[in-house]
């Protein structure tokens, strides 16, 4: 619940602590942020643009695809990595689990199941996603924010951060992480969904993606190991339509051309899922 994480939150305008006043969070400077009836709070600055956030249709597609268990090996690998990071931390781990680009909260919920003593902050710019994240787990608090601006979290407030198929803000991740804490980052390899990329003309992943991620995070965090998770999906036409609709290709795919290309695919079609689960330590 949002109340569980309120003492970790900071005003996005002046970075001072936030406290609850009835149905709002306020800072000593007088900035006030209303609590949405759907269970989240928006801590966006007034000039923030939310046009890059996932739409209601994209969020619904992602929720359906993840609920079907297609990415369960990724979920399990992330939960295992979280348990390992917890074991490597101090005997009494502190701080919240912050998921930057949390979407529907699916991954964060499973990590919290693996870490029963922790609470989680689902951070995303899409209010449609956070309506679902707020209900994804009883220990999740959902916060609308912009990943490319100062995050509305106190310094050194996170004992663990997650970043799954989402934007990465190195300086802010370092600021928010406690010393010795870990960022777990899941990113697609060039093989991810390659059969659909070729057949449907979807956006492809750069072969050098992981190297570029390491370079961008290098000034702020230290690599602490990584593993590849690769498996085969067997997807029917509706599953394929859903996986296309939940990702960045949804912004660039013509529905009529997609329907025609789908008709040419076998049913089911075998598709490669391939990601890197990497750990970085502050």
Chain position carrying tokens 């679902």: 132
Whether 43 maps to a domain, the answer reads no
Whether 219 maps to a domain, the answer reads yes
Q: In the numeric block, which tokens belong to residue 222?
A: 């230290």
Whether 131 maps to a domain, the answer reads yes
Whether 39 maps to a domain, the answer reads no
Whether 162 maps to a domain, the answer reads yes
- 3-state DSSP call for residue 96? strand
* Residue-number span of the structural domain to which 85 is assigned: 49-281
CATH of the domain at 203: 3.40.50.150
Whether 4 maps to a domain, the answer reads no
Whether 1 maps to a domain, the answer reads no
| Domain total in the chain | 1
Contact between 156 and 176 (Cβ < 8 Å) = yes
pLDDT tens digits in sequence order for the chain, 282 residues long: 888 999 999 999 999 999 998 889 999 999 999 999 999 999 998 666 655 678 898 899 999 999 999 999 999 999 999 999 988 876 556 689 999 999 999 999 999 999 998 999 999 999 999 999 999 999 999 999 999 999 999 999 999 999 999 999 999 999 999 999 999 999 999 999 999 888 887 777 888 888 999 999 999 999 999 999 999 999 998 899 888 888 776 566 667 777 777 778 888 999 999 999 999 999
CA distance 195 to 202: 10
Q: In the numeric block, which tokens belong to residue 251?
A: 């912004």
Whether 189 maps to a domain, the answer reads yes
Longest dimension (CA), the chain: 60
């Amino acid at each position: 619940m949002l109340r569980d994480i309120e003492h970790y939150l900071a005003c996005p305008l002046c970075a001072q602590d936030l406290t609850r006043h009835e149905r709002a969070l306020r800072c000593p400077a007088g900035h006030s942020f209303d609590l949405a009836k759907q269970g989240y709070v928006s801590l966006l600055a007034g000039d923030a643009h939310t046009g890059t956030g996932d739409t209601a249709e994209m969020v619904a597609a992602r929720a359906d695809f993840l609920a079907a268990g297609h990415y369960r090996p990724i979920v399990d690998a992330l939960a295992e990595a979280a348990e390992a990071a917890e074991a490597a931390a101090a005997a009494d781990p502190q701080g919240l689990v912050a998921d930057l680009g949390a979407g529907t909260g699916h991954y964060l919920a499973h990590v919290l199941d693996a870490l029963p003593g922790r609470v989680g902050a689902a951070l995303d710019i899409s209010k449609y996603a956070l309506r679902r994240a707020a209900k994804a787990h009883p220990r999740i608090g959902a916060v609308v924010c912009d990943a490319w601006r100062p995050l509305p979290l106190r310094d050194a407030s996170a004992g663990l951060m997650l970043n799954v198929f989402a934007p990465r803000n190195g300086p802010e991740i370092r600021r928010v992480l406690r010393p010795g804490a870990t960022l777990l980052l899941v990113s697609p390899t060039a093989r991810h969904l390659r059969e659909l990329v070729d057949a449907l003309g979807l956006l492809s992943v750069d072969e050098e993606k992981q190297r570029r991620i390491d370079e961008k995070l290098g000034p702020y965090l230290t690599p602490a190991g990584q593993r590849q998770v690769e498996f085969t999906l067997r997807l029917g036409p509706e599953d394929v339509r859903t996986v296309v609709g939940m990702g960045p290709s949804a912004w660039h795919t013509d529905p009529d051309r997609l329907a025609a290309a789908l008709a040419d695919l076998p049913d089911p079609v075998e598709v490669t899922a391939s990601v890197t689960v990497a750990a970085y330590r502050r």
